[in-house]
């Protein structure tokens, strides 16, 4: 039996009711278990760090993941594990602890002790875990938090160690001394994918400086945006294949690339021209003489020098640039480091102790004072900042452990091409291009809290890499108390070298936290030590989804690790989401006060409304958040479905109808069924293709068709006093379509869908039911009804434009296109009903149009010249107009007038209006006789009575008494249409009414209506 619902839609009340129901009946766990033993679908949660609260962007990703998990469950797939995950290590955690302690740099941590600091890090990891779980639960994001994987657990770390040993054994884990991206505030190197997440557009000084050529009155002009590196200059680099010129400019003789000169100086005289190759070996004087150099100070060649910017001459400070360092190694030079690990100048100089940015400003002043500065500019360029603390990065010489990504680049790139990316342009664009660079992964970090690098070395250079905790402990002479795989306990483990007998110590680094999260696809199983079958069943993962920034984060680390360790991609399908922006299209900011708390949003607008906002457009397009727009969209969709069920269930309950298949009696019913089946097919296709926005569009369209088309046309059948075959047919079709809509909507709006589903079926939960299956559909019928709807929409538009209120009937609708003759024969009654017309018929447009032709002066003027005016007069003659209309051309003054020479003005004949933009295919009569006028007034009275019924807060099914009084025309209307008015409002006439009374003015007639509940 269909259950009753309140007349008015209250989404927040629904969500509260369903939330309690889910919890009391353990619906989530039942959903997890319902498909056990069936075909698997694998999913991996991207682990957030719970030491900060979730924001609306996290809500978006959780809603997206939940949608597809619910859909796949309804399609019969078994998803296991379906667990949450927590990212626990690295700079995100350390920096928050530093903030709480007021720590400014690494040395303060070392003073307080690693053990104490790491203990605080561990305690802070789950600071906001309850908020994360609450957001997930309120969003309806169904994953298992009790069995979440945790990246700081020893078992998880042990799996990572196994993978790192695999990489080491394959020659893909190695130590090297390189110039690497480095955060002076955090005191550690960063990987290229971390660097890629932190670029900002900034305005910087760029300077052109003069290096004095030794023994000659000439200068090399070099350009730099990092003046702080100039004290460490060791070489000048030219491109051997570029042309260089010596110019005279304001009494100075300057060397620069020929193609760059016009951009640097004006009014110069070329004195000499040489290739870069010819300049190689030329000596020059030290620019800033505080560093005692033993090597360098001559020009070298390098193909990394271009003519695109600068002067075509690059200053090389080998400690602070990878290309510069390569030059130094080639030239057998020495490495001079003039900056310490905190990013401060360490060279004995006027700038000693300054941070590099402050030193840059002072060095520019020094160069200007000493006459070595040629030119200063301000330039906007993209520069990397630390992705966690926001400090400007420098390039710095550091010994690090690397993963040899470059050695397997082709394989990594090729495996990416097998992944289904949504949108697909990410695969070969943002993500694919980054993979093509194939830079080695700087894995080790000069930090404290993280997965320890499993490498022990002795003083003779021998290396031991344990692949498990057991392998380590079996080799160690003693085990510290309370041992776990973190610093400082793991650092205390000493091992005797098997090769030389010396003691081995661990390399004192944790690893990049992105290796932690990127190992989740196998480490969550403690593979290979346990759960091998479970891992094989879930690898590659069928589906993951996160925001666009993870193309340089989690997506990257997953793909690289899986490619290198397993030779497979980590995942098969990935949905990439863009960010949620504020209403002005800007990134939300805490400082601006527009960062949105997801719980506050859900409390105000409801979960389903928020989820539908996320799904309304393509996930990979930025979304401007508007609470009003989100609520409006939700109410349009969910409110429409709610009202449809209310109308249907109220009438069906009165008739005692119970759900069951009925005989379909008319084309309208068949169309609604076919339209529903088509929608099921398209929604399934779109969700299988990971295009939720297109699926939601189809659900919205079907919901509107059911409400605004089918139910409106079926209302008379619903209201009839008898229960017959036709009425049962309409009930069945409505039930089938509504139930299909609710099931399709379940992954999108889980609370609302479960509420309506339970009222319709009495079953436990829509989330324990199957997704609807399409049974095929009749394209011909759907195409015909599409034409019918087009005719109706045109007719409505004509009525609206011409002030013909749809409530008031018109005499006739004329369809002027012969191609619609069969449609009108078949569906004429339906079209007439929708357009409130007494008659609909096909006729030729020629009967309703007069056409006047006149010469197009711009075109015809070329034919007639000075005789144009005479030709116009001749062409206006009635016989000439008639001849042209029949034959399409006419002879005038010796010239042939054709269609291209003529402008046509068309006017409708008689009392008809149309829409010229649609080709005058639909004409609406404006003749209103007495009978039509009175019927229109009757409909106006019905509308007012229904409005008063609503104001009186009466139920849809409540019978009422009414009294309608007015002038003679109102009385005549009541005499002629009393039966229609009373049946339409479920009312009876009563003269002595004590209920509400209201006076209305309708078309200059005063109407007094009294109403009370019967």
Q: Point out the residues that are catalytic.
A: 47, 87, 514, 550, 554, 587, 590
What is the C-alpha separation between 220 and 273, in angstroms, rounded? 13
681 vs 703: CA distance, rounded Å = 15
**CB–CB of 596/56 below 8 Å?**
yes
Q: Is 141 helix (H, G, I), strand (E, B) or coil?
A: coil
Tokens standing for residue 928? 């209103």
DSSP string, 713-757: HHHHHHH-SS--HHHHHHHHHHHHHHHHHHHHHTTTSHHHHHHHH
CA 597, CA 50: separation in Å to the nearest integer? 15
945 to 533, 545, 931, 1001, 1004: CA distances (angstroms): 69, 53, 21, 13, 18
Q: Rounded to whole angstroms, how far apart are CA atoms 554 and 516?
A: 10
On whether the CB atoms of residues 442 and 397 are closer than 8 A, the answer is no
**H or E segment to which residue 925 belongs:** strand 922-925
* Dist. CA 527–CA 52, nearest whole Å: 29
Contact criterion met (CB below 8 Å) for 575 and 541: no
Contacts of 46 (CB under 8 A, 6+ apart): 61, 85, 517, 520, 544, 545, 546, 550, 554
Cα dist. 422→82, 635, 690 in Å?
22, 29, 7
Distance separating alpha carbons of residues 613 and 582, to the nearest angstrom: 13
Give me the torsion for CA of 115, 121, 126, 127, rounded to 10°: 120
Residue 816 CA to residue 845 CA, distance in Å, equals: 5
Tokens 């089938």 found at: 736
Strands 571-577 and 420-422: parallel
* DSSP letters for 865-907: GGGHHHHHHHHTSHHHHHHHHHHS-EEETTEEE-GGGEEEEEE
Q: Are strands 1005-1013 and 996-1002 parallel, antiparallel or unpaired?
A: antiparallel
Strand segments, DSSP code E, in 167-217 are 173-183, 188-189, 199-212
Give the residues across from 385 on adjacent strands: 392
Length of the chain: 1014
| Radius of gyration of the chain from its Cα atoms, rounded to whole angstroms | 40
Nearest to 466 by CA among 668, 767, 164: 164
As separate numbers, helices (DSSP H) first and strands (DSSP E) second, the chain gives 37, 36
**What's the CA gap between 61 and 805, in Å, rounded?**
46
């Amino acid at each position: 039996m269909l259950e009753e619902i309140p007349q008015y839609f209250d989404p927040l009340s629904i969500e509260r009711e369903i939330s309690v129901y889910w919890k009391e009946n353990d619906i989530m766990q039942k959903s997890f278990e319902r498909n056990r033993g069936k075909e698997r679908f694998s999913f991996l949660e991207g682990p957030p760090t719970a030491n900060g609260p979730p924001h609306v962007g996290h809500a978006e990703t959780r809603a997206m993941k939940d949608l597809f998990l619910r859909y796949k469950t309804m399609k019969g797939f078994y998803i296991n594990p379906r667990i949450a995950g927590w990212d626990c290590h690295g700079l995100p955690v350390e920096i928050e602890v530093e903030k709480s302690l007021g720590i400014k740099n690494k040395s303060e941590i070392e003073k307080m002790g690693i053990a104490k600091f790491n203990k605080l890090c561990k305690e802070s990891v789950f600071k906001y875990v309850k908020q994360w779980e609450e957001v997930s639960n309120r969003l309806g994001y169904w994953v298992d938090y009790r069995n979440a994987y945790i990246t700081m657990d020893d078992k998880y770390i042990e799996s990572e160690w196994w993978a790192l040993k695999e990489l080491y054994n394959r020659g893909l884990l190695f130590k090297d001394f390189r110039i690497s991206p480095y955060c002076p505030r955090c005191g550690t190197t960063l990987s290229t994918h971390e660097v890629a997440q932190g670029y900002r557009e900034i305005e910087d000084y760029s300077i052109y400086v003069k290096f004095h050529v030794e023994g000659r009155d000439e200068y090399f002009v070099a350009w730099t945006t990092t003046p702080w590196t100039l004290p460490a200059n060791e070489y000048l680099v030219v491109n051997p294949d570029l042309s260089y010129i010596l110019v005279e400019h304001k009494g100075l003789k300057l060397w620069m690339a020929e193609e760059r000169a016009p951009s640097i100086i004006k009014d110069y005289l070329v004195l000499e021209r040489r290739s870069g190759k010819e300049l190689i070996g030329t000596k020059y004087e030290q620019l800033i003489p505080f560093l005692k150099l033993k090597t360098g100070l001559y020009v070298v060649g390098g193909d990394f020098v271009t003519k695109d910017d600068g002067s075509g001459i690059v200053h090389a400070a080998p400690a602070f640039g990878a290309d510069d360092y390569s030059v130094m190694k080639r030239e057998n030079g020495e490495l001079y480091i003039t900056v310490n690990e905190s990013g401060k100048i360490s060279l004995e100089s006027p700038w000693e102790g300054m941070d590099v940015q402050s030193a840059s400003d002072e060095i520019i002043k020094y160069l200007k004072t000493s006459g070595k500065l040629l030119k200063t500019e301000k330039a906007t360029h993209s520069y990397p900042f630390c992705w966690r603390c926001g400090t400007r990065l420098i390039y710095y010489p550091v010994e690090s452990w690397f993963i040899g990504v470059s050695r397997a680049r082709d394989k990594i790139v090729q495996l990416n091409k097998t992944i289904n990316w949504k949108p697909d342009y990410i695969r070969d664009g943002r993500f694919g291009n980054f993979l093509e660079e194939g830079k080695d992964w700087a894995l080790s970090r000069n930090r404290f809290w993280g997965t320890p690098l499993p490498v022990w070395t002795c003083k003779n250079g021998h290396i031991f890499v344990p692949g498990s905790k057991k392998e380590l402990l079996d080799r160690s002479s003693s085990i510290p108390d309370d041992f776990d795989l973190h610093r400082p306990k793991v650092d205390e483990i000493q091992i005797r070298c098997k090769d030389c007998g010396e003691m081995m110590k661990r390399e004192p680094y944790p690893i990049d936290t992105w290796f932690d999260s990127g190992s989740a696809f196998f480490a969550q199983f403690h593979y290979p030590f346990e759960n091998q079958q479970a891992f094989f069943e879930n690898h590659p993962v069928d589906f993951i989804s996160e925001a666009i920034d993870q193309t340089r984060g989690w997506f990257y680390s997953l793909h690289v690790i899986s490619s290198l360790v397993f030779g497979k991609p980590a995942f098969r399908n990935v949905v990439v989401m863009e960010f949620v922006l504020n209403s002005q299209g800007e990134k939300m900011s805490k400082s601006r006060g527009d960062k949105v708390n997801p719980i506050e949003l859900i409390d105000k607008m409801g979960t389903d409304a928020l989820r539908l906002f996320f799904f309304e457009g393509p996930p990979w397009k930025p979304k401007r958040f508007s609470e009003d727009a989100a609520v409006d969209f939700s109410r349009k969709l969910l409110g429409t479905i709610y009202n449809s069920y209310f109308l249907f269930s109220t009438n069906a309950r009165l008739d005692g109808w119970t759900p069951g298949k009925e005989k379909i009696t008319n084309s309208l019913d068949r169309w609604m069924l076919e339209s529903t089946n088509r929608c099921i097919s398209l929604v399934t296709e779109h969700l299988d293709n990971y295009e939720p926005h297109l699926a939601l569009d189809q659900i919205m369209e079907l919901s509107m068709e059911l409400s605004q088309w089918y139910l409106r046309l079926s209302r008379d059948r619903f209201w009839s006093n008898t229960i017959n075959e036709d009425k049962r047919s309409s009930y069945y079709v409505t039930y089938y379509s509504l139930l299909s809509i609710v099931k399709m909507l379940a992954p999108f709006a889980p609370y609302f869908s479960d509420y309506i589903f339970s009222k319709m079926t009495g079953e436990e939960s829509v989330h324990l039911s199957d997704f609807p299956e399409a049974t095929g559909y009749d394209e011909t019928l759907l195409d015909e009804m599409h034409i019918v709807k087009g005719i109706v929409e045109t007719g409505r538009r004509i009525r609206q434009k011409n002030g013909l209120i749809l409530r008031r009937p018109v005499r006739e609708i004329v369809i002027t296109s012969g191609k619609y003759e069969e449609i009108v024969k078949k569906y004429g009654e339906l079209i007439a009903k929708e357009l409130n017309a007494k008659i609909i018929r096909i006729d030729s447009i020629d009967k309703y149009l007069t056409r006047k032709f006149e010469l197009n002066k711009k075109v015809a003027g070329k034919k007639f010249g000075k005789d144009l005016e005479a030709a116009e007069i001749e062409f206006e003659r009635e016989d000439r107009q008639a001849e042209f209309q029949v034959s399409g051309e006419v002879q005038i003054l010796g010239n042939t007038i054709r269609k291209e020479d003529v402008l046509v003005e068309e006017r409708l004949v008689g009392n008809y209006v149309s829409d010229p933009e649609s080709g005058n295919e639909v004409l609406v009569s404006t003749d209103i006789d007495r009978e039509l006028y009175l019927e229109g007034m009757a409909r106006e009275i019905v509308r007012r009575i229904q409005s008063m019924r609503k104001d009186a807060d009466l139920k849809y099914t409540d019978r009422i008494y009414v009294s309608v009084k007015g002038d003679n025309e109102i009385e005549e209307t009541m005499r002629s249409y009393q039966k229609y008015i009373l049946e339409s409002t479920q009312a009876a006439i009563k003269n002595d009414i004590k209920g509400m009374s209201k006076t209305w003015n309708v078309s200059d007639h005063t109407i007094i209506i009294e109403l009370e509940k019967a």
